[in-house]
């Protein structure tokens, strides 16, 4: 601590003699046993043995270093240690000799702790190994004083009277695993201000529009004002949850120090991290190629996470033998691929993505055998791909061979029974699908039959890679393989799961498959955290699991139900014509929700807390009351609610009507005792490390060091039993436990239920993308994807999952965000009408306002400028590009006039009339250039979703031509109305440009005659319209009072 070494009295007495400002300096010094001050700076030694003197003492600051154990004189010096001999500045001159001797002896006793090398190790921080000054000051009862380290008289009274203990000082070096990085106020404050200004401007504008109707076209004015009011309401629903965006950062070094370094509780430095079960879901090997799924599995098995704590499961909902054998091949290849990734620190660890990378593979690689190893593993991967591609033919030939043998056996048996002669009746043999070991495949056969079809087959569970050893298994040099000396060659546990399916049962699609995996994994590995990925989303950042674990294991992590990672996509066309990257949502909306109660669950790339998936409440939660949720109060904990519910069971009439159904505790998990017992274990193992006084609901260090018991036959049999089709009968699975049933978008509903119970979620954006996947770049496929999302949103709006019915534990702005999820498809009605308004205006010669006066243009200018500035600031804090923002705006109009409209119609028909409509492809024209990576972008697949956007484009083009013709042929041209209508028509057409470009196919594919005929038809229609409805000869101009 740097302070003035001169007294105020001396400074004031010599102030008159100052001739010029002296040179200011800060010096670091140490007081010796003789009282002399030895400089630790580069300046000459300072002699301050005399009374504080000198006119510049109030400027020359001296920092006296306390004689801590890491600041002792060198061993080679003949001088004695400086610390114990002289400790006090104020008392040592004026005190008596006995007091001085007693004080020095007392200081010697205190400093004896530091003189022992054994005791000095106790002063090292448990995490970093650095010297702990806080602990040293406590044990010596010292504290930093003015210019020196000194002990005051009242410092002797530490202990029971002061209420301080050693733990208070030991808690100081604790390091958090994550931190919030707030958006700069220079960006966020103007953003919020502009939102308020635009909201107020919209209010004044709508009020002005209502007070100033257009008497010449009341119907046009009425439609426009209704649409504008809805757009303002929809904009508020979208913008309000964006008022508090935040960023987060993780500290992987602190995570490693806490969980993977030797300590008193972990002397061998084994990993104390909790287990993670990774779920991959697939259903059809024809639509989801096994090679893509195999690469995803390989990226998971090679993830940078403790091998013994990682388990991987794949759910094959189709029960296909092709997927089964492809996964077996992937596990075999993983035995060389995973050690290769560890040896050379490969990124990404998806083989296909790694070998397709255009960058220099030798960058940052230092081992001399890397090039040789890479060449060898590349050859092995090529052979792996050939084996995967040849599996369908190999399975077919194998099945034909076994079936022919079975047919020969049947013929031989029939010949023996018929006296050596074949019977006249033909012998029929079931065309079965055979496994490599010569047994029938229990899943779906190539020729489906009873008990062997997609909706009717037995449950299958195969552990393809058993639990690894708890200790690292180092490789050795092998002439046939790579040199894995000093490299851990273990691979994580991997299991293939295909749940049982039988006719007459509702299997609930993907949500049912995920719940079956939850139960099977609880029996086998019971990792307290679950990461779910689609089969085409692989781990791009090998440390992504640790990044997510930083949030779960940090202070307050026991309240987090899931960590959502952003979705990043590969194979998108460079212009991102149809906004496939969706960066406005993933980098804007989701980042903003992270500042509230957390982002929504989007179906993949999400790490769940298993205990939260079981429908339980967080250990601590808050309730929000008041009109805007401004009143915050602690919610009753789970134990209090359990006792309350038990008391209510005695007298059901006393149960209050206001109790929310989501706040009841789950009870019906099924009849598996082994599964029920695993719940408490998963909850305990998922707690943060209790290494700080602020950690609540934690577990002691070293609690997860015991190895997993090996799998036995009863355990595997129990896992097969819990994936049976009858297990969920009379249980709460899909209703309160696991993934929620009853919606196409089961992901959003599942996350909403957790937030409704008081859990919070976190959005984890890593420097290197955590996961990457694929997205449809074809227009038709993209629209059908949006249609499915919008249909799920409509189902949410008409169900009990509507945010209007949420509990008090849902924050106000979080409730607004979930309301927007269910309401946004209904904007399509108003958007379609508004897209036709410019054309109707040009057709009729009227506009939505009577005239383009100053008030209308001023309001329009203010609203537009505010929206532009808001968008620019949103681009600033979210990090998206302007082109990405514009593509999102374009596709919002395209999707809103097609997929969203169809979803609303489909939802209304389903709710009102019980009629379900599905939009399917009717025709298809394939592209010719199969070598083009973006060839699918130019494929045109006709669908009924094209009708409305195409109509809007044609009508607006014709309307512009008619408007121009009407104005040119009129006696007094009304250029203001033409400009108003034409401007908005071109604005609509600008948003529809990607749709029109998608219909055109490849560049240059549309013949010139199409453009010629389009122009001729437009001109002809405009002339016919003018002849049918000629322009008026008289025009009333109310503002100028002119009549012609």
Q: Determine the 3-state secondary structure of 565 from DSSP.
A: coil
User: Is-contact 807 659, C-beta < 8 A?
Assistant: no
Distance CA 752, CA 509 (A): 19
Q: Which residues contact 549 (CB under 8 A, 6 or more apart)?
A: 255, 273, 274, 276, 529
User: Is-contact 151 141, C-beta < 8 A?
Assistant: yes
Distance CA 995, CA 578 (A): 8
The DSSP annotation for 963-1007 comes to HHHHHHHSSS--HHHHHHHHHHHHHHHHHTHHHHHHHH-STT-S-
DSSP strand pairing (622-625 vs 631-634)? antiparallel
Distance CA 844, CA 217 (A): 9
Distance CA 185, CA 61 (A): 37
Question: Which residues, in sequence order, are bridge partners of residue 568?
Answer: 772
Distance CA 468, CA 334 (A): 14
Q: How many CB atoms lie within 10 A of CB 137?
A: 18
Site of tokens 């196409």: 744
Packed helices 509-524 and 673-685: angle between N→C axes, nearest 10 degrees = 80
Tell me the two tokens of residue 1036.
Answer: 């009333």
Calculate the alpha carbon distances from 472 to 465, 483, 484, 694, 702 in Å.
16, 16, 13, 34, 18
Distance CA 31, CA 62 (A): 11
The separation between the first and the last C-alpha atoms of the chain, rounded to the nearest angstrom, is: 89
Q: Which residues are catalytic?
A: 317, 747
Distance CA 215, CA 847 (A): 11
Distance CA 724, CA 460 (A): 10
Question: Which residues, in sequence order, are bridge partners of residue 940?
Answer: 925
Residue positions counted in the chain: 1044
Q: How many CB atoms lie within 10 A of CB 445?
A: 22
Distance CA 848, CA 841 (A): 7
Tell me the two tokens of residue 856.
Answer: 């209308």
User: Is-contact 843 1021, C-beta < 8 A?
Assistant: no
What Rg, from alpha-carbon coordinates, does the chain have? 37
Hey, CA dihedral for 869, 873, 875, 876, is it positive or negative?
positive
User: Is-contact 484 717, C-beta < 8 A?
Assistant: no
162-163-164 Cα angle (round to 5): 90
Q: In this structure, what are the phi and psi dihedrals at residue 248, rounded to the nearest 5 degrees?
A: -130, 150
Q: How many CA within 13 A on the CB side of residue 927?
A: 20
The DSSP annotation for 615-666 comes to TPPPSS-EEEESTTS-EEEEPP-HHHHHHHHHHHHH-GGGS-TT--GGGSPP
Distance CA 45, CA 29 (A): 8
* Range 560-579 burial, b when 16+ CB lie within 10 A, else e: bbbbbbbbbbebbeeebbbb
Distance CA 807, CA 31 (A): 65
Distance CA 607, CA 236 (A): 31
């Amino acid at each position: 601590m740097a302070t003035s070494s001169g007294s105020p009295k001396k400074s004031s007495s010599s102030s008159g003699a100052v001739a010029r400002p002296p040179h200011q300096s800060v010096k670091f010094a140490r007081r010796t046993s003789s009282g002399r001050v030895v400089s630790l700076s580069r300046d000459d030694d300072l002699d301050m043995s005399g009374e504080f003197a000198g006119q510049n003492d109030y400027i020359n600051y001296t920092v006296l270093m306390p004689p801590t154990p890491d600041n002792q004189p060198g061993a080679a010096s003949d001088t004695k240690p400086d610390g114990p001999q002289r400790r006090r500045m104020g008392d040592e001159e004026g005190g008596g000799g006995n007091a001085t001797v007693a004080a020095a002896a007392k200081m010697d006793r205190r400093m004896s702790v530091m003189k022992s090398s054994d005791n000095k190790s106790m002063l090292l921080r448990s995490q970093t190994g650095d010297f702990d000054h806080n602990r040293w000051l406590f044990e010596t009862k010292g504290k930093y004083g003015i210019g020196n380290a000194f002990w005051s008289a009242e410092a002797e009274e530490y202990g029971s009277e002061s209420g301080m203990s050693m733990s208070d000082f030991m808690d100081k070096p604790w390091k958090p695993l994550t931190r919030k990085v707030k958006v700069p106020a220079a960006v966020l404050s103007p953003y919020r201000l502009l939102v308020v200004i635009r909201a107020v401007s919209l209010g004044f504008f709508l009020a002005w529009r209502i007070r100033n109707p257009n008497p010449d076209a009341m119907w046009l004015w009425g439609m426009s004002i209704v649409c504008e009011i809805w757009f303002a309401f929809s904009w508020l629903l979208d913008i309000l949850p964006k008022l508090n965006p935040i960023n987060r950062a993780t500290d992987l070094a602190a995570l490693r120090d806490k969980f993977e370094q030797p300590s008193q509780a972990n002397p061998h430095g084994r990993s104390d991290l909790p287990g993670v079960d990774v779920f991959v879901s697939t259903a059809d090997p024809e639509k989801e190629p096994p090679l893509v799924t195999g690469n995803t599995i390989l990226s998971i098995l090679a993830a940078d996470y403790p091998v013994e704590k990682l388990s991987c499961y794949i759910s094959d909902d189709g029960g296909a033998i092709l997927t089964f054998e492809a996964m077996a091949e992937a596990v075999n290849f993983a035995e060389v691929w995973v050690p290769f990734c560890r040896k050379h620190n490969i990124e990404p660890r998806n083989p296909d993505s790694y070998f397709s990378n255009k960058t220099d593979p030798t960058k940052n690689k230092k081992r001399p055998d890397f090039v040789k190893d890479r060449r060898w593993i590349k050859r092995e991967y090529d052979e792996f791909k050939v084996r995967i591609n040849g599996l369908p033919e190999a399975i077919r030939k194998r099945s034909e061979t076994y079936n022919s043998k079975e047919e020969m056996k049947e013929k031989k048996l029939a010949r023996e029974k018929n006296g050596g002669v074949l019977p006249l009746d033909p012998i029929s043999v079931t065309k079965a699908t055979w496994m490599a070991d010569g047994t029938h495949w229990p899943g779906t056969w190539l020729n489906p039959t009873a008990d062997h079809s997609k909706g009717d087959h037995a449950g299958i569970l195969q552990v393809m890679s058993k639990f690894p050893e708890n200790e690292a298994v180092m490789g050795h040099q092998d002439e046939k393989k790579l040199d894995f000396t000093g490299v851990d060659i273990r691979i994580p546990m991997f299991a293939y799961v295909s749940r049982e399916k039988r006719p007459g049962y509702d299997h609930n699609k993907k949500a049912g498959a995920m719940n079956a995996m939850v139960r099977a994994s609880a029996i086998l590995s019971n990792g307290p955290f679950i990461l779910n990925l689609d089969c085409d989303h692989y781990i791009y950042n090998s440390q992504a699991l640790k990044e997510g674990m930083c949030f779960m294991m940090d202070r307050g992590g026991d309240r987090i139900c899931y960590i959502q990672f952003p979705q990043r996509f590969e194979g998108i066309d460079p212009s991102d014509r149809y906004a496939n990257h969706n960066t406005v949502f993933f980098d804007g909306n989701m980042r903003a929700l992270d500042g509230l109660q957390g982002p929504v669950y989007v179906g993949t790339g999400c790490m769940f807390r298993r205990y939260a998936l079981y429908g339980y409440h967080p250990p601590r939660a808050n309730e929000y009351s008041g009109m805007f949720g401004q009143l915050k109060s602690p919610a009753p904990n789970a134990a209090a609610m359990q006792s309350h519910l038990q008391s209510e069971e005695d007298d059901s009439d006393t149960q209050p009507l206001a109790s929310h159904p989501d706040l009841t505790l789950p009870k019906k998990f099924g009849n598996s005792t082994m599964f029920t017992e695993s719940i408490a274990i998963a909850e305990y193992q998922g707690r943060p490390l209790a290494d700080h006084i602020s950690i609540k609901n934690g577990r002691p260090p070293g609690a997860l060091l015991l190895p997993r018991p090996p799998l036995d036959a009863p355990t595997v049999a129990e896992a097969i039993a819990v994936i049976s089709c009858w297990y969920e009968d009379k249980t709460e699975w899909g209703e309160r436990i696991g993934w929620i049933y009853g919606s196409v978008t089961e992901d959003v509903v599942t996350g909403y239920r957790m937030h409704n119970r008081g859990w919070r979620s976190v959005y984890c954006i890593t420097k290197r993308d955590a996961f990457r996947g694929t997205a449809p770049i074809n227009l038709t496929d993209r629209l059908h994807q949006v249609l499915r999302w919008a249909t799920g949103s409509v189902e949410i709006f008409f169900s009990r999952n509507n945010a209007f019915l949420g509990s008090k534990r849902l924050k106000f702005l979080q409730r607004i965000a979930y309301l927007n999820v269910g309401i946004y498809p209904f904007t399509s009605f108003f958007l379609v009408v508004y897209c036709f308004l410019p054309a109707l205006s040009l057709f009729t010669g009227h506009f939505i306002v009577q005239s383009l006066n100053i008030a209308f243009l001023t309001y329009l200018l203010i609203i537009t400028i505010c929206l532009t500035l808001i968008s620019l600031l949103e681009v600033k804090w979210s990090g998206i590009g302007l082109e990405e923002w514009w593509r999102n705006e374009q596709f919002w109009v395209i999707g809103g006039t097609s997929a969203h409209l169809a979803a609303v119609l489909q939802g209304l028909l389903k709710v009102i009339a019980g009629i379900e409509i599905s939009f399917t492809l009717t025709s298809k024209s394939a592209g010719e250039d199969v070598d083009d990576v973006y060839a699918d972008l130019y494929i045109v697949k006709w669908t009924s979703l094209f009708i409305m956007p195409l109509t809007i484009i044609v009508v607006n083009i014709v309307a512009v031509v008619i408007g121009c013709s009407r104005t040119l042929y009129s006696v007094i041209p009304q250029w203001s109305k033409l400009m108003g209508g034409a401007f908005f028509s071109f604005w609509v057409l600008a948003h529809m440009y990607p749709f029109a470009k998608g219909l055109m196919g490849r560049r240059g594919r549309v013949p010139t005659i199409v453009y010629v005929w389009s122009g001729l038809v437009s001109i002809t229609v405009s002339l016919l319209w003018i002849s049918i409805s000629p322009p008026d000869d008289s025009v009333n101009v109310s503002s100028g009072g002119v009549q012609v």
